[in-house]
Structure 1
């Protein structure tokens, strides 16, 4: 999973400071990363391993995280995984922006 986490950090990098700040906040929240693990397991079961499998696992995690960001805005949630949501910390507009990014 280290390769997937490194890919996530690399792909979420932005010259826009607010996007970097919120992305780092979200990534540092952790999570079980079940979806990317499943992608890697399926890839391995099919005999495919390599950089592309980590990229695909990261994409699946991006989609999941984006839906959580948008869900927190719609539900007006203030906590996720025991800490403040991105929208509670940075506002709804910024949270939606990163979810779309």
Structure 2
């Protein structure tokens, strides 16, 4: 038996304990997340809306924002399995020109 920690959980432990490389690991994780976010945006044909960032586990860990490319673009069905609601995507469409 073992305890499985996600990358954001490990990073949170390092910050909590004052580990001297916590900030370095945060930057590396955010860089990797930025690279992955570029690929997600490309494959789903949506836009990125800012850099990936680690905000702590209380704020969902490391995240990258995305938005529709056009006003009438439906939310990719695959994203509905994650932390998004159709209404949120529709609100973003209203802001897209």
For Structure 1 versus Structure 2, the TM-score category normalised by the shorter chain is 0.3 to 0.5
Higher RCO (CA-CA < 8 Å; seq separation 6+): 1
Structure ID, larger Rg: 2
Normalised to the residue count of structure 1, the TM-score between the two structures is: 0.35
Normalised to the residue count of structure 2, the TM-score between the two structures is: 0.36
**Larger % of helix: which?**
1
